[in-house]
Structure 1
């Protein structure tokens, strides 16, 4: 059961991360074509779908992560550090949703540079998580 639970958690985490990595990029491209209504609607649909899928994957990843944590009594400083960075990823996800909502409400877009920096910043949160998980027994 431990392996199946761990694999399930990892699958949902990977799915969530793929959405976190792609959604800001889609928003950036949406910004570039916002004056062409047909393409804009396609990017709007894609962005909303990505956010919804990513939200579901986040909920499932967190659920299975908590299940792993409680069922197998994981503990240690690495877990606390990892959870702090997971919390930052949740905030990042919510900010992505806020950006999306602002765009849907026709509020002004952020600048290209701000969106690019935001897009790349998720990796700065994910790398420490991977490090803490891999080095927990080292």
Structure 2
């Protein structure tokens, strides 16, 4: 089971790399004024979302469910930290889906937000990562 946990962590890191980088691309895309740059960002965003982020998310979730079903649920079903972690993972999934919606908006030149918005938007997964890791490692309650 340690191999499954190791791969779960590896793909979680892959997923978070995308969650950190895609909104940063949105910052630069929102600032871009020339067509060539805007088209380049569309390609980069699409490849990151569909080629790295989404596979990383799916594999992370599948392996997490495997770990949960194999031993964690029986051992920790009455622990608040596990329920809190699962809530944060649910929020991460919603954030991921929202990133995909923003991707479509940029693809169709429908972005209405400034680069400043995306700079703040980019900070949200950092807070979630801190919460998930602290809950999983420290198991505080």
Which category of TM-score, normalised to the shorter sequence, fits these structures?
A: over 0.9
Runs of 4+ in 1 over 4 A off after TM superposition: none
Give the match for residue 62 of structure 1: 61
1:1-138 alignment, distance < 5 Å: 2-33=1-32, 35-52=33-50, 53-74=52-73, 75=76, 76-136=79-139
Q: CA–CA distance in 2 between the matches of 1:26 and 1:73?
A: 36
Q: Mean Cα displacement is larger for which, 128-137 or 115-124?
A: 128-137
Higher relative contact order structure (alpha carbons within 8 Å, sequence separation ≥ 6): 2
- 1:25–1:119 contact (8 Å) kept in structure 2: yes
Number of corresponding residues: 136
Q: CA–CA distance in 1 between the matches of 2:123 and 2:42?
A: 21
Q: Mean Cα displacement is larger for which, 17-26 or 107-116?
A: 107-116
- 2:105–2:111 contact (8 Å) kept in structure 1: yes
Q: CA–CA distance in 1 between the matches of 2:59 and 2:42?
A: 24
- 1:103–1:109 contact (8 Å) kept in structure 2: no
**TM-score, normalised with respect to structure 1:** 0.92
Q: Mean Cα displacement is larger for which, 103-112 or 92-101?
A: 103-112
Q: Unmatched 5+ residue regions in structure 1?
A: none
